Amino acid sequence: MSIMNWTKDETVAIITLTNGENRQNLVFSKTLNAMLDEIIADKTITALIITSDDAKNFSQGIDVTWIMGQLEKNDHQPVNDFINEMDNVFKKLLLYPVPVIAAINGHAFGNGSILTCACDFRFMRSDKGFFCFPEVNISIPFRWGMNAFVKKAIPIHLLSQMQLTGNRFTAPELEKNNIIVKACADQEDLMATTIAFAKTFQKKRSIFGEMKRRLYNDIIKVLDDDFMPPTGKITSLVMLD
């Protein structure tokens, strides 16, 4: 079963997550990584949108059931590989030489919200879905690299509130705090507005990519330092007592 696909609207690529809650595991990260490479190989692409076709969810974050299943078998390697693959996704999005825009169509929790923060811009529908970092409630701390690039999308005073309370936020609240570009009325408005915004970009990849490389240089260094060793037990993604 396909868990995501991509289509083109003129020169705009649209990745659509197609696996319900779109829980993130090793298959998810590998598939998204490969798809990002495939899209950017198309030289006609001038912008990328990431969204979901689920009626309720953008992405509910990491697949905790899968991770716990691996750890119960004392099989840490697949989880290490997942962490590194997602870091590759985040780094790739941060350095992608065309604008990356999240069209948040429903709940974005945990790593789902974090994924949108790796994008350059965010839009979200107002009539459905919440944005939330529930890690404090499920005893999973943010990794250093995640914190580094989430700060580019969310002011630190509000990020502190989000992380330490685990509270849910609506699209109008996010728009008020400039975390998203616009809170859209419904799904139709979300996609129409996001695609129209994406089509305003006709930048040269060379300058766009270099601007992002310099802008996010410090973040990339943190991501590289936070990279998991090839083998060994998990040290940077743990469920605390």
Which letter does DSSP use for residue 49 in this model? E
pLDDT, tens digit, 9 for 90 and up, residues 151-173: 999 999 999 999 999 999 999 99
Interatomic CA distance for residues 35 and 37, integer angstroms: 5
The residue type of 228 is M
Quick check: 55 pLDDT over 70? yes
Quick check: 184 pLDDT over 70? yes
> So what's the pLDDT on residue 233?
52
pLDDT, tens digit, 9 for 90 and up, residues 102-131: 999 999 999 999 999 999 999 999 999 999
Where residue 21 falls among pLDDT bands split at 50, 70, 90? very high
Per CATH, the homologous superfamily of domain 4-198 is 2-enoyl-CoA Hydratase; Chain A, domain 1 (3.90.226.10)
CB 24 within 8 A of CB 112: yes
